[in-house]
Amino acid sequence: MKRRIVGVGVLALGCILALSSAAVDRVSAASAAQTVPAESARPDDTACMTCHGAGSSKPAVSISQTRHGNKSDSRTPACRDCHGASENHIKAPSSAPDVAFGAKSKAVSNPEQRSAACLTCHESKVLPRANWTGSQHQSRGVACSDCHNVHAPDQKVLSKATQADVCFGCHKAQRAQVRRVSAHPLATTGLADTRKMACSDCHNPHGSTGPKLLVKNSVNDTCFTCHAEKRGPYLWEHAPVADDCTNCHTPHGSSNAPLLKARVPWLCQDCHSGDHGAQVNSGANLAGARVTTANGAQQPGAAAPRAQLSARACLNCHVLVHGSNHPAGAKFQR
């Protein structure tokens, strides 16, 4: 009798273990189905690789070396996730796909269509670009593919050494400015022997809450990211400095060091026109052969000597132009 009871107990325990194992297998399979989409649920790239494989006239196999070609990642798109179903293109390869991204793609797809393919993932899921809609680039018809080439293993726009070249394709004025004698090291000319900065150090090309696509909410906050010694707070503040750094500086490059919009004292006399009783260095002085001083118009021979023009001009005495904490520094003197 005892043997029968033991045998029945062993049989029951075996059934319980078998059912538990089957349940675990079903749960594991369900979890895997949720995390990794089944191949049948995704577009198949086989039809595309028939024409765009290695050795073809328009190969696309280089994408396998990028994140967009990593098939072990469940987020990786297939060709038709970005290019659309493109049934006509598959039937007749001479026709364009539904969404094209190449150099001649503007005749096939408008900027909204090209960017929409990217924003399917990049607007909220992967590297969110929440500020893209309404940004300066988006509102001017710039598409993601105008700067990015997702098929390239090494994208020029993602490298500090080559990013500026991509931006300069549109921003010609800034390209000329960074090649002046005083400039931020965005190029290898001027005073810079190597590129130490990229445009994205100051600007967010995908949209920003600040002006001019700046990475911070103001010009000064962006500049203070590197120039922290100019932040203050100061006992004596210089009003144009506290307002906006670009009141005096041109951030991309200037013919006047250090990045000044004009040479001193002419820069200072944009605001300080009557200091020290000396004449104002202005083109208005040339009209009637007279010079303008704090005491009115006078003949050149009667004018006081231009003390500001010697050596560093105003900066001979007013050294701490960004602000001063010295008790005697109301005039920003040392």
Q: What is the pLDDT of residues 114-140, one digit of tens each?
A: 999 999 888 876 777 888 989 999 999
What backbone phi and psi angles, to 5 degrees, belong to 141?
80, 25
- Domain boundaries defined on the chain: 62-146, 156-224, 240-307
Q: Which of 212-221, 232-241, 296-305 has the lowest mean pLDDT?
A: 296-305
What amino acid occupies position 189?
T
> Which token pair is 330?
């109301």
- Residues with Cβ within 8 Å of residue 170, at least 6 apart in sequence: 142
With a pLDDT cut of 90, the percent of the chain lying above it is: 35
Joined tokens for residue 236: 């004596």
The mean per-residue pLDDT over the stretch 15-20 comes to 48
The top-scoring range by mean pLDDT among 14-23, 52-61, 167-176 is 167-176
**Which residue matches tokens 């900065």?**
197
- In single-letter form, the type of residue at position 204 comes to N
* Residue pLDDT, tens place only, 58-102: 888 899 899 898 888 888 899 999 999 898 998 888 888 999 887
Mean pLDDT of 42-60: 81
Please check the confidence at residue 12 and state whether its pLDDT lies above 90. no
63-73 residue pLDDT tens? 989 989 888 88
Is pTM beyond 0.75? Reply is no
Determine the 3-state secondary structure of 285 from DSSP: helix
Q: What is the pLDDT of residue 99?
A: 92
29 against 198, higher pLDDT: 198
Closest-CA residue to 292 (of 300, 283, 304, 280):
280
Where is pLDDT greater, at 27 or 167? 167
- pLDDT exceeds 70 at position 199: yes
